[in-house]
Structure 1
């Protein structure tokens, strides 16, 4: 079930990257009209969405490793959300110093990070149980 949900989220990311960016900015960015996403942001999101769909469909070891990476990334979000903000601003926006993050966004990142960690742990447990 979780794999199907992840696949659907990947499909949405591939099909409507503009809406994904807009949703991210509604949650994360205080001044979305004052910052410009990098030119490669939308194509990169599309590619990421396609990869996520493929991993969800394929399953197996590839999906498991993707969940391990997701769990590791979630640890960063959970423990040091400011590091994510610094990296995200540089990767996503032309002028990263112009990005004003919404108050409380760190709490949101920690919640997402916790969910990602749980996905990684769940996959580790499934692997351990399969042995």
Structure 2
């Protein structure tokens, strides 16, 4: 269920990132109408959605490097969110000095880190399930039995 929900979120970010960005601005900024997003803001949101979908559908077979980077970003956000918040603001907005952050931005960034780690862990379980199914199929073929139906 959680995997499907996160895949849906990733697809939404790919197809229509503007509402996701607007929601994040309403949550994190006292002045959500003032940000001047850089052109790369939409591309970054789409990339995040693509990474979520890619990893959750393909698992670690998709890319161990991408999975590792997402996990590292998640761990960094959980442990020391402030430098990541500052960096992401400079990458996403042209007027970072005008933005007024709400006090719960750091806890929200930590939650985002937990989300990244969750996607990473779910992608790992996809890979393990695929390997188990493949082994069961190979055993069934070598013994002349039909493979068990997928669960």
Q: TM bucket by the smaller chain?
A: 0.7 to 0.9
Q: Secondary structure at 1:32's aligned position in 2?
A: coil
Structure that is richer in helix per residue: 1
| Matching residue of 1:84 | 84
Aligned-partner Cα distance in 2 for 1:98–1:69: 30
Match of 1:104 in 2: 104
CA offsets, 1:63-107, max 9 Å, x none?
Answer: 554333222111111111111111111011012222211111111
Counterpart contact for 2:3–2:122, Cα < 8 Å:
no
Deviates more, 1:118-127 or 1:84-93: 118-127
Could you tell me how far 1:33 is from its partner in structure 2? 1.6
| Alpha-carbon contact 2:60-2:124 (below 8 Å) kept | no
- What is the alpha-carbon root mean square deviation over aligned residues? 2.9
Q: Does the CA-based 8 Å contact 1:6-1:52 persist in structure 2?
A: yes
Structure 2: segments with no counterpart, 5+ residues = 133-151
1:121: Cα distance to partner?
5.0
Does residue 5 (structure 1) correspond to residue 8 (structure 2)? The answer is: no
What residue is the counterpart of 2:138 in the other structure?
none
1:41 and 2:38 correspond = no
When the two structures are aligned, how many residues end up with a matched partner? Answer: 131
Return the index of the structure with the highest Cα Rg.
2
Kindly indicate whether residue 31 of structure 2 is the aligned counterpart of residue 27 of structure 1: no
Alpha-carbon distance in 1 for matches of 2:58, 2:126:
16
TM-score, with structure 2 as normaliser: 0.68
Flag structure 1 segments of 5+ consecutive residues without an equivalent: none
CA contact (8 A) 1:38 1:94 kept: yes
